[in-house]
A and B are shown apart, each in its own frame.
Chain A
Amino acid sequence: MLSFLRAIGAGFFAFLGATGRLFLFALASLARVLRPPYYLRATLRQVIEIGYFSLPVVGLTALFTGMVLALQSYVGFARFNAESSVATVVVLSMTRELGPVIGGLMVAGRVGAAIAAEIGTMRVTDQIDALSTLSTDPLRYLVLPRLLAGLLTLPFLVLVADVLGVFGGFLVGTYKLGFNPAAYLEQTHQYLEAKDVVLGLVKASVFGFIVTLTGCYQGYHSRGGAQGVGQATTYAVVSASVLILLSDYFLTQAFFTR
Chain B
Amino acid sequence: MNRDAVAKISVRGLKKSFDRKTVLTGLDIDCAVGESLVIIGGSGTGKSVLVKCILGLLRPEAGSIRIDGVETVGVSAGARERLMHKMGMLFQGGALFDSLKVWENVAFGLTAGRSVEREAAREIALAKLAAVGLGREVGELFPAELSGGMQKRVALARAIAAEPEMIFFDEPTTGLDPIMADVINNLIQKCVRELGATAVSITHDLVSARKIADRIAMLHKGLIIWEGPTAEIDRSGNPFVDQFVNGRAEGPIEMEIRAL
Interface on A for B, CB 8 Å cutoff? Answer: 37, 39, 118, 122, 125-127, 129-130, 132-137, 141
Q: Which of B49-57, B211-219, B252-260 contacts A (4 or more CB under 8 A)?
A: B49-57
Contact A129 B57, CB 8 Å, known A134-B84, A134-B158: yes
Is the Cβ of A126 less than 8 Å from the Cβ of B81?
Answer: no
Note all chain B residues with C-beta closer than 8 A to A136: 108-109, 112-113
Please tell me which one of the listed residues A37, A118, A133, A137 contacts residue B87 in the complex, with CB atoms under 8 A apart: A133
| A247 vs chain B, min Cβ distance (A) | 31
Is the Cβ of B95 less than 8 Å from the Cβ of A127?
Answer: yes
Is the Cβ of A129 less than 8 Å from the Cβ of B95?
Answer: yes
A135 to B108, CA, bound (A): 9
Note all chain B residues with C-beta closer than 8 A to A141: 112
- Beyond the given A37-B115, A134-B108, please list 11 additional residue pairs across the A-B interface where CB-CB is below 8 A: A125-B93, A126-B93, A129-B91, A129-B95, A130-B96, A132-B56, A133-B88, A134-B84, A135-B114, A136-B112, A141-B112
> Quick one: which of B161-183 are within 8 Å of A by CB?
162
B89 at interface, CB cutoff 8 A: yes
Interface on B for A, CB 8 Å cutoff? Answer: 52, 55-57, 77, 81, 84-85, 87-89, 91-93, 95-99, 108-109, 112-115, 158, 162
Note all chain B residues with C-beta closer than 8 A to A132: 55-57, 84
| A111 vs chain B, min Cβ distance (A) | 15
Is the Cβ of A125 less than 8 Å from the Cβ of B113?
Answer: no
Note all chain B residues with C-beta closer than 8 A to A130: 89, 91, 95-97
Contact A134 B112, CB 8 Å, known A127-B97, A129-B52, A129-B57: yes
Is the Cβ of A126 less than 8 Å from the Cβ of B92?
Answer: yes
Contact A137 B93, CB 8 Å, known A129-B52, A129-B57: no
Name B58's closest neighbour in chain A (CB-CB).
A129
Is the Cβ of A135 less than 8 Å from the Cβ of B91?
Answer: no
Please tell me which one of the listed residues B84, B92, B97, B98 contacts residue A133 in the complex, with CB atoms under 8 A apart: B84
Note all chain A residues with C-beta closer than 8 A to B113: 134-136
A and B contact pairs by CB, cutoff 8 A, 15 listed: A126-B91, A127-B95, A127-B98, A129-B57, A129-B89, A129-B91, A130-B89, A130-B91, A132-B55, A133-B57, A134-B108, A135-B85, A135-B109, A135-B114, A136-B112
